[in-house]
Amino acid sequence: MFVADRLAHAEPGVGLDVASGEGRNSLWLAARGWKMTAVDFSEVAIERGRAVSDEVDFVVADVLQWEPEERYDLALIAYLHLPGENMRQAIERVASWLRPGGELFLIGHDESNIDQGHGGPQSPEILTRVEDTVEWLDDLEIVEAQVVRRPVETDEGRVYARDALIRARRPE
């Protein structure tokens, strides 16, 4: 929902969806004119994405090892949760693949979701911390960095999960 909210009116360009799963965000962006590559190390997820659309370039790869040939206007990391050092590596690698003016868009379960939110992973060491993530992006300009509430409908009514949303741009 945050991708749609923030990027519905963005000028389409060349985009990368890291840890894309079946590519729901890539498919949404491709439908809006983006030329998308979706990367995930799950062959099952990537095959499912390919079965839905040939508009997205689906790639099976580990983000900690893969080297793209392209540079990107947008690099999306949605709900990728790795232990701290691996997450830092992944984020720094992805940030280095941005074109000047390109945006890193990261959304993940915030660490405060365990006590104050709903659902999601319950291991603090893999949850997102806004301040740490911002520190890892010190050569980018921060566009937005905050904890956001995501509505979740349950049998008991609507509750709110807490996500970390960080958007950062490579200077021109």
For ligand SAM, the binding residues (CB under 6 A) are 19-21, 24, 40-42, 45, 62-64, 78-80
Q: For ligand SAM, give the closer residue by CB, 24 or 99.
A: 24
Q: For ligand SAM, give the closer residue by CB, 42 or 112.
A: 42
Note the residue count of the chain: 172
Least separation in angstroms between residue 172's CB and ligand SAM is 28
Least separation in angstroms between residue 171's CB and ligand SAM is 26
Closest residue to ligand SAM: CB criterion: 21
Least separation in angstroms between residue 141's CB and ligand SAM is 24
Q: For ligand SAM, give the closer residue by CB, 29 or 78.
A: 78
Least separation in angstroms between residue 139's CB and ligand SAM is 22
Q: For ligand SAM, give the closer residue by CB, 166 or 171.
A: 166
CA 7 from chain center: how many Å? 13
Q: Are 162 and 147 contacting, i.e. CB atoms less than 8 angstroms apart?
A: yes
